[in-house]
Amino acid sequence: MVNKIKTCVFISGKGSNLLSILKSSRDYNFPINIQLIISNNPKADGIKIAKKYNIPFKYYSDIDKNKFEARALLELKKSKIKFICLAGFLRILSHNFINNFGYKIINIHPSLLPKYKGINTHQRVLMSKEKYSGCTVHFVIPKLDSGKIILQKKVLISKNETVSALKKKILAQEHIVYSQSIISIFR
Ligand code: GRF
């Protein structure tokens, strides 16, 4: 594929989803190319991935939401980014940012949305004695974890499942479904 869509991944932490998308993007037919990584956390481990794979990155420390968004928008314009993937990005983007960017933004959330929006998902799922959980890739709108669903993966919750075991199980599915979702959007 010659004209891959110029993409930026937003991270705040480990960046395992970033790595999974990055690996997929090396495939000739994968529709996007990661050309920029933005972190709101200067200590995010995902920045090491950016360095290792030689991808331009920016991180911002201790700045408020407005400043962060203004700087990010500037970088996105400079790099001619036309698509954003949020991957473990722990901030809610404003209406203003989403409108100003003007292209598609997607996110991954570790639950079967619309159930369990927000944080501490796995704890809440276990407390509610759910039989299943999973992950969801969805379009980003100003309302938290509420945009149109692209794809979901379901996992069965075992007896005596712990938060960390469930997290690990779901993360493995996230790494599959994120790339599948990107393919399905641009097919
Ligand atoms: C993932 O579970 C993602 O769904 C959630 O935060 C976690 C981030 O993982 N939003 P990573 O930084 O991609 O490893």
Determine whether the shortest distance from the Cβ of 88 to ligand 1 is under 6 A: yes
DSSP bridge partners of 5: 32
Does residue 51 contact residue 57 with C-beta atoms inside 8 Å? yes
pLDDT digits (tens, 9 = 90+) for 131-186: 999 999 999 999 999 999 999 999 999 999 999 999 999 999 999 999 999 999 99
Determine whether the shortest distance from the Cβ of 173 to ligand 1 is under 6 A: no
Q: Which atom of ligand 1 is nearest to the CA of 20?
A: 13
CATH fold for the domain made of 5-186? Rossmann fold (3.40.50)
Distance of alpha carbon 19 from alpha carbon 53, whole angstroms: 10
pLDDT digits (tens, 9 = 90+) for 25-51: 999 999 999 999 999 999 999 999 999
87 Cα–ligand 1 center, Å: 6
Catalytic residue among 95, 109, 138, 175: 109
H-helix segments, the chain: 16-25, 46-52, 65-78, 95-101, 121-127, 163-186
Q: Which pLDDT score is estimated for 1?
A: 65
pLDDT digits (tens, 9 = 90+) for 82-101: 999 999 999 999 999 999 99
Short-list 109, 94, 86, CA closest to 8: 86
Average pLDDT over residues 113-129: 98
- Boundaries of every domain in the chain: 5-186
Q: Count of CB atoms within 10 A of residue 98's CB?
A: 18
Name the residue at shortest CA distance from atom 3 of ligand 1: 88
